[in-house]
A and B are shown apart, each in its own frame.
Chain A
Amino acid sequence: MTDREIMKYDVVIVGAGPAGLSCAIRLKQQKPELMVAVIEKSSEIGAHILSGAVIEPQPLDDLLPGWREDPPSICIPVEKDEIWLLSQTGRWRLPTPPQQKNHGNFIVSLGAMCVWLASKAEALEVDIFPGYAAAEIHYTAEGAVGGVIIGDMGIGREGEHKDTYMQGIEIHAPITILSEGVRGHLSKQLIKKYALDKDSDPQTYGIGMKELWRVQPGKSKPGLVQHTAGWPLDSKTYGGSFIYHLDKDRIAIGFVCGLDYEDPEFVPFEAFQQMKNHPMVHEMLEGGEILSSGARAIAEGGYQSLPKTELPGALIIGDSAGTLNVPKIKGTHQAMRCGMLAAEHIAETSSAVGFDARLRDSAVVRELYKVRNIRPAFYKGFWRGFIRAAIETVTAGKLPTTLSIHPDDSSLKKLDGYSSPHRNWVDRDLPPRDRLASVYFATTAHDEDQPVHLQILEPDICTSRCVKEYNNPCTRFCPAHVYEMVGDDAAKQLQINSANCVHCKTCDIKDPYQIINWVTPEGGSGPNYQNM
């Protein structure tokens, strides 16, 4: 029995992203008498949401008919698609593949859209609580998931109670929905505890980094959707950029790198900055200013990596399971559909049982199945991947084979016997000059006097093995420069600047020894993204 205060709901949803909010709205539409709570660790809705984003509107039409008369604050119809292959100074326009034909779609700020979805949910009397972190799962006496335990607040760096100490309450509900986004920490625990991934391939991820720019008048062509591949990446590193032109002289620009990259010296943030300095992109950005920046991991495993999404007392939905469609680079419509399906299932059966089968039979997984071989095709490098992807597209995924997904944490080559590819990168002049300057625009804030939320399970490995085998890649793959090796060679130590963390989860994913465990810091901590 607990000494914590308890609040009871019919459904508790962890995470106020598109999946969680769509689920909440649909639940109330189907059964208005249900008591539904949404718990969100960020200080306000949208503050931890970062995405391109070009969205397919059909789930919105389904969930909120009439939304087009009252759209979210940033919502620009797509006018034109362009796909470019870049070299250091040159570019070639490629034909737009069907998955990237965006006619009828909208460029949105997913963060602003979540704020808008939250207001719709609140109008239906969903209780939304931003600023509170669901730190742990509450288990019932029978061992099923029975809700969540909100993290204690006001705890000092050594674990001591400060004057402001406030014990976290427990929220009990017969059904808990995990919609934490990619690599959610509670989803990670549950997947392990219930072996939900035993019949699926490991999940594979990408790191998505994004900046929102205000550019010189005339440089932004609202409705233009551009994607690039090629330079600055080498042929063995999966990834590319997106450039989405918004209104009010704004451009959303970003870069995705597959986290299965092999070069331990690779710095994803630097690849992003290089791309911005390509002549085609530089021309758009020069004279502009950065409004916001940040990063978030992306789930790229699709069909093969989907774990079992139901467990006693809970469902895992959206990108916590991994529903993003990789060749479309769109996950929002899938997350929304998944959330709505979960809501319909709960409204009908009041149980988690049977959801997984229903999901696998649905449009969400049908869409993932169709494109299942595209991402793994790129394990053979860019050109062979490109050809296989084209074949898969033309055959609509109907070929009988299914390529398997490889785990990211074992993809790094050891330094011994490996040399990084020569990168023809340039001297660059656009801001931000480095990761610290970039983190400034993420306006991430953590009370420094709290326990470090990046747990290193075996800290000796950093200085005894990792430094020799991989040269501490965490100091390079983290987009916020959280990890640093300080001190001279004899006394080198890992320093964790946890206050910089933007909650992207890349370290939890890419660390080759899997000793980094990301847990929630105090509720309300983390980025304060606006319109991202």
Chain B
Amino acid sequence: MKILIGIKRVVDYNVRVRVLPDGSGVDTDGVKMSVNPFDEIALEEALRIKEAGNAEEVIVVSAGGDECQQQLRTGLAMGADRAIQIQTSESLQPLSVARAFLKIIEREEPGLVILGKQAIDDDNSQTAQMLAALWDRPQATFASRMELNGNSAVVTREVDAGLETIEIDLPAVVSVDLRMNEPRFVKLPDIMKAKRKPLEVISLDELGVAVEGQINVSQFSPPPQREKGIMVDDAAQLVQELKNRGLL
């Protein structure tokens, strides 16, 4: 079967993100961009499934401008066979991404679609769920373990109450959590090989997907500065200060 992996180009997790002075967004000037860490975990899982002989092709897909080709090449260097860029200069919200991915699914007919549970820039955690609904197929989100059994998969999900194990029919959408695996390092020669692997560019228009934003982001602001504290001399003063602030 084919496995489709969704990859998003995001601000690297190491970067100290800063809000622009006018509050319109986050400063991405000169900032390091990387593959969304959860997407790397998704790709790693797909590669392991392929190496175990249960898939013949791993395809990485990303929606964005041409700069996301850098992240697609990283995916190819890790071991994916082919890459597809859904080209657009628009900023996409999860619903549009899900619709675009659906078009790719209709073309490629994968047996499994693995996404990261959420992107570290917007933390939405919506694309996988929306994609499964649009595709009308099962979903297993926040997965930390997956076992394939022919036409189905047994997936362990990380949920608030602990771990939940479900069985889903394939094809399906799985979104992965941190504990699924630790992604491999890229071998230097594989970076060179990745340059020769196919990277197809399809525009969003060609796919016939209209961009519809349901959400309008009005303002970004940094968390409030931590105020200077005061030193108190004894417990009595502490209680008084707490009372003064209406906290007791």
Contacts and interface: CB of A to CB of B under 8 A. Distances in A.
Nearest to A248: B29
B158 interface: no
Contacts of A43: 12, 14, 32
B30 A531 contact: yes
Nearest to B182: A164
Interface string A495-532: 00000000000000000000000000000000010110
B191 interface: yes
Given A5-B187, A129-B188, A169-B189, A443 B15 contact: yes
A244 interface: no
Interface string B179-194: 0001111111101100
Nearest to B33: A44
B191 A530 contact: no
Contacts of B182: 163-164
Interface string B182-220: 111111110110000000000000000000000000000
A7 B188 contact: yes
A169 B192 CA distance: 13
Nearest to A165: B185
A127 interface: yes
Contacts of B188: 7, 129, 132, 150, 169, 171
Contacts of A291: 16, 18
A7 B188 CA distance: 9
A443 B14 contact: yes
Given A43-B32, A441-B16, A164 B187 contact: no
A166 B185 contact: yes
Nearest to A128: B191
Interface in B5-21: 12, 14-16, 18
Contact of B185 (A153, A440, A530): A153
Interface in B42-75: none
B92 interface: no
Contact of A164 (B32, B185, B189, B191): B185
A71 B212 CA distance: 37
A166 B192 contact: no
B180 to A, nearest CB: 13
Given A127-B192, A150-B188, A47 B32 contact: yes
Contacts of A129: 188, 191
A525 to B, nearest CB: 11
Nearest to B192: A127
A186 B191 CA distance: 24
B31 interface: yes
A166 B31 contact: no
Range class of the B interface residue count: 10 to 19
Given A164-B184, A166-B185, A530-B15, A44 B192 contact: no
Contacts, number: 54
A530 B189 contact: no
A445 B185 contact: no
Contacts of A5: 187, 189
B14 A528 contact: yes
A154 interface: yes
A154 B185 contact: yes
Most buried by A among B14, B182, B183, B192: B14
B178 to A, nearest CB: 14
A153 B186 CA distance: 10
B-side interface mostly: loop
B196 to A, nearest CB: 13
Nearest to B183: A164
Contacts of A153: 185
A-side interface mostly: mixed
A112 interface: yes
Contacts of A140: none
A132 B186 CA distance: 10
A71 B194 CA distance: 30
Interface string B148-192: 000000000000000000000000000000000011111111011
B30 A528 contact: no
B190 to A, nearest CB: 10
Interface string A112-150: 100100000000000101011000000000000000001
Given A445-B14, A528-B14, A166 B184 contact: yes
A483 B185 CA distance: 30
Interface string A449-489: 00000000000000000000000000000000000000000
Contacts of B12: 43, 528
B30 to A, nearest CB: 5
A96 interface: no
A227 to B, nearest CB: 26
A169 B186 CA distance: 11
Nearest to A47: B32
A73 interface: yes
Contacts of A109: 30
B187 A166 contact: yes
Contacts of A163: 182
Contacts of A44: 32
Contacts of A531: 30
A440 B189 CA distance: 34
Nearest to B13: A445
A530 B192 contact: no
A291 B31 CA distance: 12
B181 to A, nearest CB: 9
Contacts of B189: 5, 7, 169
B35 to A, nearest CB: 13
Contacts of B30: 73-74, 109, 112, 115, 530-531
Contacts of A127: 192
Interface in A401-430: none
Nearest to B12: A528
A220 to B, nearest CB: 13
Nearest to A440: B16
A528 B32 CA distance: 8
Contacts of A530: 15, 30-32
Contacts of A443: 14-16
A-B complex: 3 closest residue pairs judged by Cβ atoms: A166-B185, A153-B185, A528-B14
Interface of B: 12, 14-16, 18, 29-32, 182-189, 191-192
15 contacts: A5-B189, A47-B32, A74-B30, A109-B30, A115-B30, A127-B192, A129-B191, A131-B186, A166-B187, A171-B188, A440-B16, A443-B14, A443-B16, A530-B15, A530-B30
Given A7-B192, A530-B32, 6 more contacts: A73-B29, A132-B188, A164-B183, A166-B187, A440-B16, A528-B15
Interface of A: 5, 7, 43-44, 47, 73-74, 109, 112, 115, 127, 129, 131-132, 150, 153-154, 163-164, 166, 169, 171, 291-292, 440-441, 443, 445, 528, 530-531
